[in-house]
Amino acid sequence: MLRDSYGRKIDYMRISVTERCNFRCAYCMPNTPMRIGDESEDVPLESVLNFVKVAIAEDVKKIRITGGEPLLRTNIVSFIAAICKMAPEIDIALTTNAFLLAPLAKDLKEAGLKRINISLDSLKKERILCISKRDGLENILQGIQAAHSVGLKIKINMVPLKNINEDEILDILEYGLKMGIMVRFIEFMENTHAKSGIEGLNLNEILFKIRQKYDISPFEKEIFGPALLFKISSEEIAQKAGIKTERDYVFGVIAPHNDDFCKSCNRIRLSSEGKLIPCLYHENAIDIKEAMLRGDTQEIFENLKLCVETKPEKNDWDTHSTSKRAFYQTGG
């Protein structure tokens, strides 16, 4: 079992399998050339499994596969199947922009994938193109529908940006409401790789937009995630959205700028470069690429333990406004 120096149990690993992405989102990597290497430059997935084996032996309960765009890896389905074969009880999830998802959804589900987070920053074709530099809305919506049809548990992630898509917060919320899918709004995390001048909405600004139509109340914090959860009553949904349901609708806001955001953090990250990262904001990292390539489980374990021991108490967004971290390498 892994515990950091603040007593937090670390049982959640986020693994970036590539820094390559087919989108160039304004808040992530807008100025990165479309071609940033090919699959031969990614750490081989069989080598990443050497890390996964150690993590599972240390009682890790959840693994999230990220990127870049993880569905660009040609063997991603067999990689997920290998993890599930190693530990059938593992809660394995994936984060994707869904552009390539529709034809893979059934195979991913059968391989053992349980959860999928899908980025959806707009329901307007021209805005998706503006934000991501890709005409991708149709593919995204098809991917969501395919994942929903095969029974994957879905969460939709939206990054609200001022003067870009902030007027769609309610539209995205109601899209999720109608689909029976949780929506999570993510505060823009300032970083040097983002488009200059963009500005996100904070927790209170997001909730203000939603309260223009719905009465909402705090619910709880995500058990396996960083979001603050809020609910809309079934009566409100029937009255104001015209949808009859016996269940309240729950949505989330991920607010890394909040003081208590880090208190229950149970995760560390493996970057696409093969570096262990104890905190998304901090620059420190431990390179285990060569150990993974060699299959040196003892060295992997020692560095994993060191990474956990050096995990900071909290991020630095309260003292530094901008991160130098490339989120497309760490998976956000």
The DSSP line for 203-241 is: HHHHHHHHHTT---EEEEE-SSSS-EEEEE-HHHHHHHT
* Contact present, 332 and 193 (Cβ < 8 Å): no
pLDDT of 141: 98
Segment among 4-8, 129-133, 246-250, 294-298 with least mean pLDDT: 4-8
**What DSSP state is assigned to residue 249?**
E
Residues of the chain with pLDDT > 90: what percent?
Answer: 75
Residue 149 has pLDDT above 60, yes or no: yes
pLDDT class of 260 with cuts at 50, 70, 90: low
Q: What is the pLDDT of residues 83-115, one digit of tens each?
A: 999 999 999 999 999 999 999 999 999 999 999
Query: Which among 111, 127, 193 has a CA at the least distance from the CA of 160?
Result: 127
Smallest Cα–Cα separation from 193: which of 5, 34, 29? 29
Q: Which residue has the higher pLDDT, 234 or 324?
A: 234
pLDDT tens track for 36-89: 678 888 999 999 999 999 999 999 999 999 999 999 999 999 999 999 999 999
Q: Does the pLDDT at position 318 exceed 60?
A: no
Q: Answer whether residue 261 shows pLDDT above 80.
A: no
pLDDT, tens only, 171-200: 999 999 999 999 999 999 887 778 888 999
Sign of CA dihedral 23, 26, 30, 36: negative
Tell me the pLDDT band of 331, cut-offs 50, 70 and 90: low
Contacts of 14 (CB under 8 A, 6+ apart): 63, 64, 66, 267, 268, 269, 270, 330, 331
Asked, as a colleague might, if the bond just before 112 is cis with ω within 30 of 0, I would say no
Whether the Cβ atoms of residue 325 and residue 28 lie closer than 8 Å to each other: no
> What's the gap between Cα 234 and its chain centre?
28
Residue 206, number of CB atoms within 10 A of its CB: 23
The runs of H, that is alpha helices, within 229-286 are: 234-240
Determine contact, residues 212/170, Cβ cutoff 8 Å: yes
User: Measured between alpha carbons, how far is 158 from 168 in angstroms, rounded to an integer?
Assistant: 10
Residue 257 pLDDT level (bands cut at 50, 70, 90): low
Question: 326 with 19: CB under 8 angstroms?
Answer: yes
Q: Which two tokens stand for residue 256?
A: 């890394």
The pLDDT score that the predictor gives to residue 1 is 85
* Per-residue CA distances from 144 to 55, 264, 318 (Å): 30, 30, 35
Closest CA to 98 of 68, 132, 141: 141
DSSP code for 43: P
Token pair for residue 120?
A: 């959806």
Chain mean pLDDT for the chain: 91
The answer to whether residues 235 and 217 touch, using CB atoms and an 8 Å cutoff, is: no
Given this model, what pLDDT does residue 226 score? 78
